[in-house]
Amino acid sequence: MSRGNILKFFLFIALISLFIFLFVHFDMYNFFKDRDRVTGFINSFGPLSVFVFIGIQILQVLFAPIPGEISGFIGGYLYGAAPGTLYSIIGLSIGSLLAFYLARWLGQPFVEKIAPPATIQKYDYFIEHKGLAVIFILFFIPGFPKDILSYIIGLSRLKASTFVIICALGRLTGTIMLSLSGSFARNGQNGALATIIVIGLVVTILTAWYHEKILSLLHGKKNG
């Protein structure tokens, strides 16, 4: 192992150790699950709250225990549907790009600490052989591991600029729905909120139920 790789390895270990310490010490998992606590925390920064919210969206991509559904909802609740969607997409895109570069920098041994080798192998096939359209579909359909996909795609030959465009467009529909939910809740539009929640649940359940069938269909899709 070269000296540069040794330094990268120890830097990575130091960063991960620091994150684990902070995550456990400040009980961050339960913090991010509590919508009211997160909302109050973000609002406490006043005009800088937008940057804090974007930072939270970046973190929820990089670290799986942070639930993205809650943070996406909070964006719409705090800022409204359109601004919430914009801020979320910025944060999600930056977080995905960081995951992409971490994987490209540290290689497959690092990604295997995040995703099982079987998962990497399954999605790597789509990334390498099925073209950009299928990668977009994987980001577009709810229920697929988008954050893990960002790491796996970092191992591929895909250009970073192409990846971030596909990622942003693929995440857009789900992000809009979460932001709309938050906006409806903020404005007391309970009927609209209930409708979008039901739609989201139905789509999520169907995706989970037909997950493998969808993958089989995509497996047979010609390169795009």
Amino acid identity, position 51:
F
pLDDT in tens, the chain (224 residues): 455 556 655 665 565 555 555 545 545 445 445 557 667 778 888 888 999 999 989 988 887 555 667 788 888 988 999 999 999 999 999 999 999 999 998 888 888 888 888 888 878 777 776 678 888 888 888 767 788 889 999 988 889 999 999 999 999 988 998 899 888 888 888 788 777 777 776 776 666 666 666 666 666 555 44
Tokens of 168: 């942003």
What span, in angstroms and rounded, lies between the C-alpha atoms of 99 and 115? 13
Distance of CA 209 to the CA centre of its chain: 21
- What's the pTM? 0.74
- Could you state, in order of their start, the residue ranges of all structural domains in the chain? 34-219
What span, in angstroms and rounded, lies between the C-alpha atoms of 56 and 125? 31
